[in-house]
Amino acid sequence: MNNCGENNILLFAEGLKKSFAGKTVLDIGELTVRGGESVVLSGENGSGKTTLLKILAGLLRPDSARALAFAGCERYPRGAPHSSYLHQSPYLFSASVRANVEYGLRRAGLPGEKRKQKAEDAMRWAGVLHLASARADRLSGGEQRRAALARIRALSPRLCLLDEPLAHLDEEGIKRAEELIPQLRKGGCAVVTATHKPFADATQQWRLQNGKLICEQ
């Protein structure tokens, strides 16, 4: 069954299984994400949150899946277009913040002036415009997180997959990230956030337990 395209469904997966070294990490019956949703994914350390997010981002292949589709695509593409994944500890290319934010825009083929404008808007939004020329890999943890969020924001993806975006941040960093993440949803983008912290605006709560996904609306 492929429900994508119906009822604003952005992401649909059914019968998702993944094992590592003979140990089942994920055995998920069904999951659905609609445009504009905020999904909070929780679970103990090692419960498979990162594995699930990477599968949904197209970075990892599941061992089997009866259905795994993104916005009407019959087959979930590797490095799925229109979806962005943020590592628990974001990776920034060893270049300037501006070059990092423009990376995805270049891949999308945006012409120079439009690309520059979009990148500046995203950096201003994340509060890193003053760091545009700084080497991204030499920023503080909080600044790196915001630069990575700006890089995602610039692409206006339809789905954001954020892996523990508040981890390893000080109070100020958490406060600023908590302000930015809900704003990613503007324009119909769905956000799936793996976190141990409750999110006030969550439309779905997913909990991973022994490889099973417990969904609460």
Partner 1 sequence: MEAATATAQALRLLFSGDEELLEIIGVSLSVSLSALALAAPPALFAAYFLACRNFAGRRALLAVLQSLLSFPTVAVGLILYLLLSRRGVLGAWELLFTPAAMALGQAVIVFPILTVFALAALQKNDSRARETALTLGAGSFRAALTEIGEARFGVIAALLTGFGRAVSEVGCALMVGGNIAHYTRNITTAIALETGKGKFAEGIALGIVLVALALAASALLSLAQGAGRRE
Q: Which is nearer to partner 1, 146 or 151 (CB)?
A: 151
Q: Minimum distance from CB of 155 to partner 1 (Å)?
A: 7
Q: Minimum distance from CB of 104 to partner 1 (Å)?
A: 4
Q: Which is nearer to partner 1, 103 or 125 (CB)?
A: 103
Q: Which is nearer to partner 1, 94 or 209 (CB)?
A: 94
Q: Are 182 and 38 in contact (CB under 8 A)?
A: yes
Give the total residue count for the chain: 217
Q: Minimum distance from CB of 4 to partner 1 (Å)?
A: 20
Q: How far apart are CA 131 and CA 139, in angstroms?
A: 9
Question: What residue ranges bind partner 1 (CB under 8 A)?
Answer: 54, 57-59, 78-81, 83-85, 87, 89-91, 93-94, 103-104, 107-108, 137-138, 151, 155
Q: Which is nearer to partner 1, 60 or 215 (CB)?
A: 60
Buried b (16+ CB within 10 A) or exposed e, 37-68: bbbbbbbeeebbbbbbbbbbbbeeebeebebb
Q: Minimum distance from CB of 84 to partner 1 (Å)?
A: 6
Half-sphere exposure of 205 (CA within 13 A, CB side): 11
Alpha-carbon torsion angle 50, 53, 59, 63, nearest 10 = 90
**DSSP count for the chain of H helices, then E strands:** 5, 9
Q: Which is nearer to partner 1, 13 or 159 (CB)?
A: 159
Q: Minimum distance from CB of 88 to partner 1 (Å)?
A: 10
Q: Are 69 and 115 in contact (CB under 8 A)?
A: no
